[in-house]
Amino acid sequence: MNLALDRGLALLEHLSRNPDGLPLAHMAQDLDIPLSACHRLLGDLQHCGYVRQKRKQGDYQLTTKVVSLGLGYLSHAGIVDIAEPLLERLALQSGELVRLSIVDDDRLIWVAKAQGTRQQGIRYDPDMGMEARLSCTASGHAWLQTLSDERALELVALQGFGAPKEFGPKAPTTIKSLLGFLHAARVRGCAMIDEVFAPGMSAMAAPVFRRHEAIGVISIAGPRQRLTMDAMQNLMPALLAAASELGPISNVSNLFGRPPLGKG
């Protein structure tokens, strides 16, 4: 890849994880980019409207142009029209946050959501477009459960387990503990976690299949006081039904990739 392009994309990704902005020197150090090159790239990104400075000589932060690109793509890809009714129905049934993620090569990306009708208590509402942490999210486990142990561990190794302090107290930190979650998910047909991704939160997720390949995941997440293991067991038929319904119609959207000719 062209070095300048590689560095420019790295700057955008780094700023996306720091919405309050970062000073030039910090970004140059974090990404191991020479200060002068980093300043030049940020100037180019600023000129194109992707980055702004909060004040003269101040921190750099992303503009909404990056967001509008992603939202425009999702809109034209047809994913909202396809998934929205299913997600909204499941959100109404559960009263919690329902999300759709798609498999994108070696990554799982959250692309759409519907919020349940509950207005009180904790609201679990992460930003769309984030890459799911495969080792400690219900969505990640639901995708990994469809793969061999070897392939699942290969994907987790590429992404890493992450720092334990960033996740819940029950997040797996070893291969053995992760495989325990995946084997349990395969037996159930869906993944269930409790205080794994975040303290006080639980979640469940089921893979979306086209033919025999997992192309996405539908998940339900909420505070563990409401979304107990019993509640998740009761919601499992509705979750599996939504995932099963989305699979056959997913080829309407090119976001999921096109099946081979002659296959639906």
The tens-digit pLDDT sequence of the chain (264 residues) is 588 899 999 999 899 888 889 999 999 999 999 999 999 999 999 989 889 988 766 899 988 777 667 656 655 555 656 778 889 999 999 999 999 998 888 889 888 888 876 554 444 444 566 789 999 999 999 999 999 999 999 999 999 887 878 899 999 999 999 999 999 999 999 999 999 999 999 999 999 998 788 989 999 999 999 999 999 999 999 999 999 988 776 655 555 554 444 444
Torsion (CA) 52, 58, 60, 62 in degrees, nearest 10: -50
Q: Which two tokens stand for residue 15?
A: 């700023």
- SS3 at position 136: coil
Phi–psi pair at 4, nearest 5 degrees: -65, -40
Q: In whole angstroms, what is the distance from residue 121 CA to residue 119 CA? A: 7
Q: At what angle do helices 24-31 and 35-47 cross, to 10 degrees?
A: 120
Long-range contacts of 34-37 (CB under 8 A, 24+ apart): 37/4, 37/7
- Which segments of the chain are extended strands (E)? 51-53, 60-62, 97-104, 107-114, 191-194, 201-210, 213-223
* CB count in 10 Å sphere of residue 89: 16
